[in-house]
Each structure stands twice: as C-alpha cells, then as structure tokens.
Copies of this chain bind each other. A is one copy, B any other.
C-alpha cells in the first residue's frame, strides 16, 4: 500500500490527531461534533477548522459500537444481489422497506448469502435487525436465527415457524385463480410453477410455493379434479423460461386453453410466447399470473392476476422489525390478503372447432423479437 501508515502522518486522522493539532483534549474534539454547546464558540470553531483541514470525520464504526446501534436495517436475501435486482418482485418489496427507512432515517443494507448460506452472512452485517426473505430451509435455521439476539422478521417463510413474520394468503389467492378459470369453462389448464429450493426433494415444498400449490389443489378439488388433471412445469422464475415452456406446450398435441402462472414474471413470458406464435389471448388461450407487479397492468392484453401488495409487505415487515428493535415486542405473524384482479387476459375457452384449427396453425415457429 502506497504511503504507509506511520505514526502521526498518513492514515485516517483520528480524534486524537485533531486534538493534538488543535491543542485540546479528545473530549473537546468529540464535543465539537456532538455537543457544540459544551464548548466556547472560539474553541469549537478552532477544532472544527483543524478537523476540516486534516480531513477528519468521526469513525461511523466506532460511533456505532459506542452507541450500540447502527441505524441500518438489514435485508437477508436468498440470492445474489444481481439476481435480486433483476426481479421486479424484490424491487417492489425493497421499495416498501425503503419507505420505512426513509421515514425513520435508517439506511438499508442488502445482504446476499455468503458461501451459499444466508445465515453465514449475518456476522458480516452491521445492522440493528434483519428482514429475512424467503428462508426456505430447515426450521432449525429459523430457530437458530431467533435465538441470536438480533431482532428478525421473516418474510415469505414457512407457515409453521413461530418467529415474527409477514406473509400473504397465497393459498386463497391461487384457489380463487383456479376457480376463475374453471368458472370460465376451462378444462385444459397448464400450470407454470417455479423451482423449489435445492432441498425440496428432501423436505418437500415450503413457503409461498407450498401454499400456492395447496391453493391450486383446493381449487381443483372444488371442481372435482386433482393435480393429475393439470400439466405442470417447474422452471426458474424468468421471462425466458416462461416463454420457452409455453412454446413447448403450444407445439404439443393438446395445448392448454388456460395457463396459470404462479408468478407474474412467468406470465409475462407466456404472453410473449403467445403473441409471437400469433395465438390470441384471451380468445384462444387465457393467462393468469400471480403477484400483480406494476407491469401486469400494462401488458397487452392487461394481465389477470392474483394481487398481493408487495410494497405493503415490505412496509409491514420493516415496521415490525423496527418495533422489535425498539423493544415494543410484538412478535406477531401477519397474513396479508390476496385478491384476484380480473383484467383482459382471461375469457372462456374457444369452441372445440376453432381450437383444432388453431392447434394446426401453431405447428410453425413465430419470429423472435429483435432483427
């Protein structure tokens, strides 16, 4: 490192350096910054001038250690930062958290997993508490988390956990979506589901996915059907994966008349595939999403989807965390509502004749977006 870090010269100046240079004690330096009225004006100004000249700033770290608080809220994320910031769901969620931070004067620390583990990242985060997103692993982890004395609020977690948390009624929302489709007369429904966590095989589905799948089963049961009656694909949550899967379905022998996507992003991909294929939505195929991201109202046709107020979820979680930090203990589990928003992407299935015709036409490949 160039310039070394010898005794009095290089390196960040400390309160001691300023005190020495100005001819006062470190106490005085501290007062100049924190309790101006403890000092004579002349003294304070002299100190501040010297501090300015030396480029001195009280170390935030030392201050925080002393104060016992950071005025930062942490968000423990289930994926890398780049992936999170590519996902509009998280952008909306973080916006809700951000509103609370803005109002309360907190900063926001985004903490991705360390060595694949969300929990390992904790010791590297200087925050007053964590909003923990989508921790879908063993309950043991949650319990461990709760025991460490840092306040936490769980979001999109496991329903059976006892830690304070915020979730939405995924199950009810999905059930309503299925009802809507069944009510319109659809019988060939395909479900665009998303990848469960890595250990789903061992532990079964968890969190929101488990609840959405339960809602799907509920809705089918009401119509006297089962999961065996629907085609279901599990793909990563991305536009292209939604698109690709729908293309495959539409090229198959018996394409669906309705597509239920368990995430709007997947639904956007579906819409794109159908448009490229020249399939009329909702005339030939209906599409339903989940989340009601901002874009859902702007697609053509506008997307019918299950609305959850993601921003409110973030706001609620951050609010609960702040309450916990302040010791206004209220370790509640909140369940925010969902509701089906019917827009323009759903309609009754086409009559059988027209359907066969369309299927034949759809053997070809649509053009891709860019030249």
Contact = CB atoms under 8 A, between A and B. Distances in A.
A99 interface: yes
A59 B71 CA distance: 15
A1 B325 CA distance: 10
A89 to B, nearest CB: 12
Nearest to A108: B110
Given A110-B110, A370-B297, A82 B63 contact: no
Nearest to A121: B107
A248 interface: no
A81 B95 contact: yes
A122 B149 CA distance: 27
A114 interface: yes
A50 interface: no
A70 B126 contact: yes
B108 A81 contact: yes
B85 A95 contact: yes
A57 interface: yes
B98 A81 contact: yes
Nearest to A79: B102
Contacts of A55: 147-149
Contacts of A101: 81, 112
Contacts of A124: 60, 71, 107
Contact of A105 (B2, B84, B114, B300): B114
Contacts of A123: 57-58, 60, 63
Given A2-B329, A55-B147, A147-B55, A60 B98 contact: no
Q: Report, nearest first, the 7 A-B pairs whose CB atoms are least far apart.
A: A81-B98, A85-B95, A80-B102, A1-B327, A55-B147, A108-B110, A82-B99
29 contacts: A1-B327, A13-B149, A55-B147, A57-B150, A60-B122, A61-B61, A61-B70, A62-B65, A64-B126, A71-B124, A72-B109, A80-B102, A81-B97, A81-B98, A81-B99, A81-B102, A82-B95, A82-B102, A84-B98, A85-B92, A91-B91, A98-B110, A98-B112, A105-B114, A107-B111, A108-B109, A110-B110, A295-B295, A302-B369
Given A2-B329, A11-B149, A13-B149, 8 more contacts: A12-B149, A60-B124, A61-B64, A80-B98, A82-B95, A102-B112, A107-B110, A297-B370
Interface of A: 1-2, 11-13, 55, 57-65, 70-72, 80-82, 84-86, 91-92, 94-95, 97-99, 101-102, 105, 107-112, 114, 121-126, 147-150, 295, 297-298, 300, 302, 327, 329, 369-370
